[in-house]
Amino acid sequence: MTDEQRVWLVTGASSGFGRAITEAAVGAGDVVVAAARRAPTDLAAGHPEQVEAIALDVTDTAAAERAVADVEARYGRVDVLVNNAGRGHVGAAEETTDEELRSLFDLHVHGPVALVRAVLPGMRRRRAGAIVQMSSFGGQVAYPGFSAYCATKFALEGWSEALAAEVGPLGIRVLVVEPGAFRTSFSGTALGQSARIPDYDATVGPTREMITGINGSAVDGVLGHLDAVRDEIRAWEHLSRTTAYASA
């Protein structure tokens, strides 16, 4: 490893965006610690001098903290953290069990938060670093059947926006990525589905059917959502402003 090479820690690196990001970082000449529940050894075998594969379940926050400490001990630092591990989930709010909801929050919120907290001390000392939070179109717009999934992404985005304001003056950048539909395993074997309640077939049923056919609609969906929010604010603006009171 040279001084010019950046050190990346990428979760969910075995497939999809995580794998693509790892390959792009390697192409740029950097070093990547590629983490997944099953260590992506094929990536490391293809780039033995630039990729190290490790097994990491990000929902085990203690293991996540140990992984960062180990990477820093061996490589000296983490320049870029990419919190990419995640999965899709479909189910009405009532259909979604406590276990399913908590599991999703552990994966999309608590795990990434633990990893960010673990890398921040080193980044603060160096006054440099980048944190990439892989969110989703679902971090801006919610649909029937995505209540649990969107709740986790909304939470991640709110936390990350505040984080960006806190660490920006320290030379640390935070990027929130909101993909729409791509050819990953999101709607394949990695997709979780809650047990169906027939009363929700009219609202959640179409979501279950369309999840593999939303390619290319993310930008229009977000813009439409923002327009609807703006219209609603304008409609209630007068009433909202009447709640103000004169200062003493």
153 is catalytic: yes
Catalytic residue among 14, 136, 149, 200: 149
pLDDT at 214: 56
pLDDT at 79: 98
Instruction: Kindly state the average pLDDT of the residues 35-54.
Output: 94
Distance (Å, whole) CA 125 – CA 140: 33
Percent helix, strand, coil in the chain, to 5, is 50, 15, 35
Q: What are phi and psi of 66, to 5 degrees?
A: -65, -40
pLDDT digits (tens, 9 = 90+) for 191-246: 778 888 999 999 888 877 777 555 455 777 778 878 888 898 899 898 888 887 77
Cα–Cα distances (Å) from 179 to 15, 76, 141, in that order, read 15, 32, 12
Instruction: Give one DSSP letter per residue of 120-164, joined into a string.
Output: HHHHHHHT-EEEEEE--GGGT---TTBHHHHHHHHHHHHHHHHHH
pLDDT digits (tens, 9 = 90+) for 12-38: 999 989 999 999 999 999 999 999 999
Question: Taking a C-beta distance cutoff of 8 angstroms, is the pair 44, 21 a contact?
Answer: no
149 is catalytic: yes
Q: Does domain 7-241 have CATH number 3.20.20.70?
A: no
240 is catalytic: no
Catalytic residue among 153, 160, 194, 200: 153
